[in-house]
Amino acid sequence: MNNVPRTSIELFKSEKLDYVGLLRFLAEYDSWQVPTQKDKNGNLQIKLGVFEDTETQREYPQALLFSDADAIWKFGQENDPDQIRGDMTKLSTVEVFELIGTAAKVIDIDLGTESGLRFMDDKVDDFRQAAMAVKLEQMLINEDSDPKIFNYLYHYPVFQILLRETERGANLLLAPDGAGRQIAAVFTADDCTAAFIANYMEANPGATQPLTLALEGSKLFTKLASIPSLQGIVFNPAGPPKPKAFSMELAKTVAQGGN
């Protein structure tokens, strides 16, 4: 998709793209222009402004993200240019949240343009979680180059697995495997879970829709490591990110504390 922020936001506003799909596109964007500054130690910081909520009469720390130079120019025509005066740094969404943490309570994308979009309150949390998912998915694909992956998996807040109801209770829904192996399907984000469910329901007409169970990493991998029949794990077997498979050694290592 060309010019992801503007195009995806326009599709979302016209109801041609759902909220989960919007989050995926925005979280994967890697070319935001962001007002930044250096602290006294020379470390890069995102420069926060103040959003004044006229309804609640409260002020909130605000981050501004711009998809391109045109969006910056339009903002300057309608708003105080001091908010964007100084350094502008090209950052991915993952880098934005690594720098900003939980400091911003409002995130404005392309403020002052027709495709502008505001994230506020719990929507900021949604955006942050989508960025965390993208970061994890990138780490999974390049696991040999990032020694922090086990710790990140252990502390990841919201993995999802699927359960299938049977006469004997709910069983873990496994990923399809041509060799007949018992492979656990683990999902990093809502759209990954939804894609798998859609495939499952199409392949099993009349089946009851699986139940979704959300678990933080420490609990998930402890649970998986305790199932003796499992022979492996595959993350996001139906996409949209590239699926990635591991042996059960991954679950055992993460379950021990991620070190």
- Higher-pLDDT residue of 223, 166: 223
pLDDT in tens, 161-201: 999 887 777 789 999 988 889 999 999 999 999 999 999 99
C-alpha closest to that of 236 among 163, 161, 151: 161
151/188 same-domain check: yes
C-alpha closest to that of 239 among 131, 155, 137, 135: 137
Can you list the positions of beta strands (E) in the chain? 32-38, 44-46, 49-53, 58-65, 87-91, 106-109, 117-120, 159-166, 169-172, 183-186, 211-215, 232-235, 244-246
**Burial group, residue 65, by CB count within 10 angstroms (0-12, 13-18, 19+):** buried
> 92 is in which domain, residue-wise?
4-134
Residue ending a domain, choose from 101, 116, 134: 134
**Confidence check: pLDDT of 65 > 80:** yes
The structural domain count of the chain equals 2
123/175 same-domain check: no
Entry pTM: 0.90
154/213 same-domain check: yes
Give the least confident one: 7-16, 52-61, 98-107, 111-120.
52-61
Q: Calculate mean pLDDT across residues 97-107.
A: 95
Question: Is 72 in contact with 84 (CB distance < 8 Å)?
Answer: yes
pLDDT in tens, 114-167: 999 999 999 999 999 999 999 999 999 887 556 788 999 999 999 999 998 877
Residue ending a domain, choose from 72, 100, 134: 134
111/12 same-domain check: yes
Q: How confident is the model at residue 1 (pLDDT cuts 50, 70, 90)?
A: very low
The pLDDT of residue 62 is 95
Residue ending a domain, choose from 78, 101, 134: 134
